[in-house]
Structures are given as structure tokens and as C-alpha cells.
Amino acid sequence: MPAFRNIRLCGKDCLCLYVCPTGATDTENSIIDVDKCIECMACVKACISGAISMIPNKYPTQQAKAEDVVAAQFLLASNKLKQQQLADAVTNSTESDIEKQFAQAIARSCRLMAEDVLREAGYLLPQSQQARKLLEAVQQEASEDFPHQAVELLLSNL
């Protein structure tokens, strides 16, 4: 469970530097060095800005999702994705820079809604069984340009 600094909250008071026994908090890019962090939490307790927290290593089993909820969420998300595709098509074909800008905003918005709705259809956590099953299912992809290494990395790391 390594410490993580939220740079947006960091007030540069540097108490984390004073208390860190391994120098993990003292980096040129402000990102705490996870290889040096011994998870002692001294920096979390010392920071007056509340800018440091511990990232969990383990997550609980996810809440089960009811079948009709999943089905309805997928139906909605699927329609949002079709709208994203249509907006992409408008973006690529329109001559007007204003219409293009508007279509890009719509595409982005539709994508975000679809992602969020699917997240709540049982795909909240990368480490969940549902995510693993999906990765195993797509591993069957035979196409040459399929990024097999990406799936292998995820199945072994998560």
C-alpha cells in the first residue's frame, strides 16, 4: 500500500521530506517513489495539507449486479456508443469547424456516459472477476493486430 501525493493539494510545506525514513517522498517530479516507500505512513500523518494517502493493494469482492440491471445498463450504453460513432462520423465529414467542435463535444460526452453506465453494470474494478472474464474472453481474438501482450500483462498483474 504505497503512499501517493496529490500534487493539486500539496502546499510544498515539505514535512513529508522531514519524516520519510527512506527518502521516497523526495523526488524531482513530486511523485512518491513506490520502490523506496516502506508504507510507514509517516508522511500521511505529517502532511498539513492532507495531500498524501495510501493506495490500497487489495480490494474487496464486488457487489453482485442483478441481471435486469446489467441488461438495461448495457442497452443504454450501447445506444450512447452508437451516438458517439455518429458524432465521430459528423466530425470527420463536416466542412464547418463549429459543427465539428460541437460533434466532438457530443462524441466525448456520449463516450463518458457509456463508460460510466457500463462501469455500474459490473465493471467498476479492474481487479474484479467480471473484468478478468472479459479479458479471458477477448484473448480468443485471432486477428493479427490484436494486442495479445496487453491482455497477458493484465491477466498476470491484476
Partner 1 sequence: MQKYRCSICGFVYDEARGIPDRDVAPGTLWADIAEDFACPICRAAKRMFQPVQDSQTLWQPTQATQPAQPAESTQVTQPAQPAESISAKPESTTLPNHRELSAAEISAVFSNLAKGCEKQRKLAEMDAFNQLADYFWQKAKDESDANLSDIQSLLDTDISSGLPTARTAAEAEADRGALRSLVWSEKVSLVMKSLLDLYAADGEAMLRDTKVFVCEICGYIHIGNSAPELCPVCKVPSFKITEVERS
Identify which range of 17-25, 43-51, 131-139 contacts partner 1 by CB under 8 A.
131-139
In whole angstroms, the minimum distance from the beta carbon of 11 to partner 1 comes to 17
Asked if 81 touches partner 1 (CB under 8 A), the answer is: yes
**Tally of CB atoms within 10 A around 155:** 12
Which CB contacts under 8 angstroms, 24+ apart, belong to 113-119? Answer: 113/77, 113/80, 114/77, 114/78, 114/80, 114/81, 114/84, 115/77, 117/73, 117/76, 117/77, 117/80, 118/73, 118/74, 118/77
In whole angstroms, the minimum distance from the beta carbon of 56 to partner 1 comes to 8
Asked if 7 touches partner 1 (CB under 8 A), the answer is: no
Quickly list DSSP for 3-31. Answer: EEE-TTT-----HHHHH-SSSTT--TTS-
* Cα gap 65→131, rounded to integer Å: 14
Binder of partner 1 out of 10, 15, 46, 120 (CB under 8 A): 120
Site size with partner 1, rule: CB under 8 A: 85
In whole angstroms, the minimum distance from the beta carbon of 143 to partner 1 comes to 8
Asked if 1 touches partner 1 (CB under 8 A), the answer is: no
In whole angstroms, the minimum distance from the beta carbon of 15 to partner 1 comes to 22
Whether 90 contacts 103, CB under 8 Å: yes
**Contact pattern for partner 1 over residues 36 through 75, marking x by CB under 8 A:** -------------------xx---xxxxxxxxxxxxxxxx
Cβ nearer to partner 1, comparing 38 with 153 = 153
